[in-house]
Amino acid sequence: MSILVINTGSSSLKFCLFNDQASAVILDGEIDWHGRGQPAELTVRITGQPERKTTTDASDSASAVTLAIQTASDSLPEGQSIQAVGHRVVHGGTRFLESTRIDPAFEAELDHLTELAPLHNPPALKAIKAAENELPKIPQVAVFDTSFFANLPRSAAVYPVPWVWHENYGIRRFGFHGISHSYCTGRAAEILERPADSLRLVICHLGNGCSAAAVKNGVAIDTTMGFTPLDGLMMGTRSGEVDPGILLYLMKEKGLSADQIDEALNHRSGLLGISGTSSDYRRVESAAGAGDDRARLALEIYAARVRSAIGSLAATLGGLDALIFAAGVGENSATLRSAATKGLEFLGVQIDPLKNNNHPVDAAISTAESRSKVLVIHTREELMIAREVAKLIARA
């Protein structure tokens, strides 16, 4: 049996084919359709073979799923086929607290959660339906980013707003990137050679979307993202935390509609909004290096928000055993890691510049004297999804 994992974004799709025990990768790749008017690009990596890049006419999550399934199927030996599919779904709301087999009732309920994650849940639902069309008799499983935070302490989950909002409207902190945070928790325990249930971790998942989490004894106790993935840290195009009074002011005094504010906060803020250059951290870094003042400011705000979150979450934990950087920016930007940890010596955080600049993967970058370890972990969300699929099917 082989398990295909599909991780759908708003303008890209990652896919990974695993063996039946989710212990080995057969193939992985991504399809990036960038934006309208640009050709999509398919990247495929098969163990023992050079990476392949080709252009394709896939232009949305549905057509990308079809291409991913065809590509994965073609890589299997004759007589073998995909036997299960796992999907990353960002928002499970209060209804889906753990991984779930997909059926029509599930799809109807997921459709109702669209408004909670408008950038992520709709393309995921399109991907699920496309996969069902291509593989109609194959079990499909949804794995949720919110599951890892389903049991946050009430003091972290409940907002200080009128109780009726919580009771009648389901307003609460959900937390996101849980699949990544869960993987990093287990991988940190392996690297440190300590049980996860003995560790106090702050995990920074920094990519186009960003979140930080406090994990104590293997359990999430706080996180920066909230009711939606818009809250918390500054991101590529998302603002992160802002004073809600700003939004009221813009609506009442400047006449902006809810849709206009939604568009601005989700698509025109963050790195893009401040720099005016790009939502891509690498491009903003390049512009800052060339003397662009707004790009420099964007990087300063980004690092300051991360640093503030680390300090706050460490206080929640009552101390810090390890600080973890993961995802695209966290794993690849030495300058961000250096800037975000500057001034955290009081927490026992000391980075070794040589280790930090040496492209670390699943390694410590802290000095020997650092009381708190600092790790860079290559997060593997697809592996975690495959493990969940294998576990659910075995249980069934």
The pLDDT value recorded for residue 16 is 93
Which strand (E) or helix (H) includes residue 305?
Answer: helix 293-317
Return the CATH superfamily for domain 2-144.
Answer: ATPase, nucleotide binding domain (3.30.420.40)
Average pLDDT over residues 73-100: 86
**Across all residues in the chain, what is the average pLDDT?**
91
* pLDDT band at residue 75 under the 50/70/90 scheme: confident
* Helix segments in 163-243, DSSP class H: 163-169, 178-192
Residue 156: both structure tokens together: 């972290």
Identical fold for domains 2-144 and 194-376, yes or no, is yes
- Domain extents in the chain: 2-144, 194-376
Task: From 127, 101, 146, select the one nearest 10 (Cα to Cα).
Answer: 127
**Looking at residue 57, what is its pLDDT?**
81
CATH of domain 194-376: 3.30.420.40
The pLDDT confidence band at residue 122, using thresholds 50, 70 and 90, is confident
Residue 25 main-chain phi, psi, to 5 deg = -90, 125
Q: What is the pTM of this model?
A: 0.91
Please tell me the distance from the alpha carbon of residue 238 to that of residue 233, in angstroms, as a whole number: 9
DSSP 3-state percent helix, strand, coil across the chain (nearest 5): 40, 20, 35
Q: Which band of pLDDT confidence, cut at 50, 70 and 90, is reported for residue 211?
A: very high
Q: Which long-range contacts (CB under 8 A, 24 or more apart) does 298-301 make?
A: 298/271, 298/274, 299/335, 299/336, 299/339, 300/339, 301/234, 301/274
Burial state string for 217-253 with b = 16 or more CB within 10 A and e = fewer than 16 = eeebbbbbbbbbbbbbbbbbbbbbbeeeeebeeeeee
Average pLDDT rounded to a whole number, residues 82-111: 87
List, for residues 256-294, the tens digit of each pLDDT value: 999 999 999 999 999 999 999 999 999 999 999 999 999
- Could you tell me where the DSSP H helices lie in 59-103? 61-75
d(CA 345, CA 374): 12
Q: Is the pLDDT of residue 37 over 70?
A: no
Residue 35 has pLDDT above 70, yes or no: no
Q: Contact 4/15 with Cβ under 8 angstroms?
A: yes
pLDDT of residue 137: 87
- Which of 280, 277, 303, 271 is closest to 291 using CA atoms? 277
Could you tell me if 60 and 33 are in contact, meaning their C-beta atoms sit under 8 angstroms apart?
yes
Q: What residues are annotated to the active site?
A: 145
Which amino acid, one-letter code, is at 243? D
Specify the pLDDT at position 309.
97
Q: How far apart are CA 201 and CA 316, in angstroms?
A: 11
Per-residue pLDDT at 165 exceeds 60: yes
- In whole angstroms, how far apart are CA 21 and each of 90, 256, 327, 394? 24, 52, 25, 10
Q: Does the pLDDT value for residue 34 go beyond 70?
A: no
Amino acid at 340: A
